[in-house]
Every structure is written in C-alpha cells, then in structure tokens.
Amino acid sequence: DSGGFQVFSLAQINKIDDQGVTFRSHIDGSKHRLTPEKSVQVQENLGADIIMAFDQCPLPTDRGIVEKAVARTNAWAARCREAHPDDTVQALFGIQQGGIFEDLREQSSIALRDLDFPGYAIGGLAVGETKPQMYAALDYAVPMLPQNKPRYLMGVGAPDDLVNAVLRGVDMFDCVMPTRIARHGAAFTPYGTTNLRNLEHARAETQIDDTCSCYCCQNFSRAYLRHLVKSGELLGHFLLSVHNIRFLLRHMEQIRQAIFQGALQDYADAFLARYLQNL
C-alpha cells in the first residue's frame, strides 16, 4: 500500500497539499512528510512485488471533495510513474478514484491509462457508501480500466462482496476483514458469519465448517473455540484467523473453477442464496 488509505483514516493528524501530506506522529508529536516520490521509495525498499501509486482517498459521496482528490491523485500518479518507470522487478499499479461519480471515475481512468501501468486498482469504495452504491459504482468503474491487465478492488473482503465484484470484472482483492472479525470471535461459514461468543456454541462439538480443510476446523470444536475466545486466549484469535483466511482462499478457488467451467453466475447465485439466507 502507498499510504493513501492511512492518510484518509488518520485525517485528524495530517494536512494535505498538492505536493504531499504532512502529519504528526501519534507517538511523540514529531512532524513527518510523505510525498508520491517518498511513498514509492519506501515501497521499493520494502521489496513488495506490487507497489501502489500514492493517492488521496476521500469519502465517496461529497462531489466537491472527490473532484479535488481525483485531480490530485492523477497528478501524484504521474509523479509516481516518473519515480518508478521500470516494472521489471516491482509492478507499480495506478489507483482509480472518483467516489460514486461516474464522470469522475472516467476522468481518473483516462489519466491512468495514459501512464500505462501494469495493473490498476479501484480505490475509494467500501469507505462508507452502501453495498448497492458500491456495486453500482463497480458496474461502470471496472469497464473503464484495461481488460488485459489486473483490476484490483482495494479494501474489500466480505465473501458476498468478493463474488459480486468478480461478476463485475474484478480480479484481485485485499482486506483485513478475516483477521479483524477473528479478533472479535467471529468466523465465516457457508451460511454467513457466526459469532463464537454466542451461547449456542457452548456445547457444540462440531467444527465451524464441516467442509473446510483448515487446521482449525480439522482439530477444534466450536465449544473449545468459544472457550478460547471468551477466555481472551490469543490462540482463539489465531485459529479463527486461520479459518477465515482459508475460507476466503477456498471461496476464490471455487470462483476460479466456476469461471473455467463457464458457470460463474450459477456459482454466485447458489453461494449468495446460502450465505445471505439469515440476513
């Protein structure tokens, strides 16, 4: 990541201008400066295979703010491309912004396509808008990006969102959701998310998901996992994280298999009917 989302999430301690971002450390109050060039340098030093252009990620529904963020993100993308022109070792992806405004997404996409990145991210979604708003934005945002290059939806990881985004042409995702909900005692299942803190699991000797091959499901009951979570044992958070990550990996494996078989819509319909049935 380039740091753009952190700028958004820590807005109360930073100041943004056309050259970059100035922020104060939450530890000692010292002042720091992050520019597009500095962001690229840090990511290069980290050795990431895919690095991201520095962007401004605004709330998606205020047009005036989003319009300014798109112009700034486009300018920063050009500076990042100049700082990292060679994608042989590390691929620099551009980030499309524009909130829920189709014309601004198109404006962003045109600028990014001209810079010929090896991959393109869709940013500025899943940051406060509703799911229908996000899906509607994807309907027009994804086709604006080159079909022959990876299209990456940033910060989205709910199982129903993954399959809905793939149906719209998205290839890649990242999200903290599987580990975040694990820290709160929750687990993905084919029938939706379940909270292991609930009393119904207190004497359940079954695993979270009897179709799952993860270490957690192969070795531990819901009752024992509930005991770990209720006791504040870190092992509980770890085991639920293992399960949740495996659940998403298997979900994406099944999506890829459905694509190869020409049955993606059938898979999506069956998965969503089951996963959302208790909502």
Q: Which residues are catalytic?
A: 1, 174
43 vs 196: CA distance, rounded Å = 37
Nearby residues of 215 by Cβ (< 8 Å), 6 or more positions away: 239, 242
Give the max Cα distance, the chain: 60
Q: Nearest to residue 55, comparing CAs of 122, 126, 141, 149?
A: 122
- The strand pairing partners of 18, in sequence order, are none
Tokens of 205: 């000797």
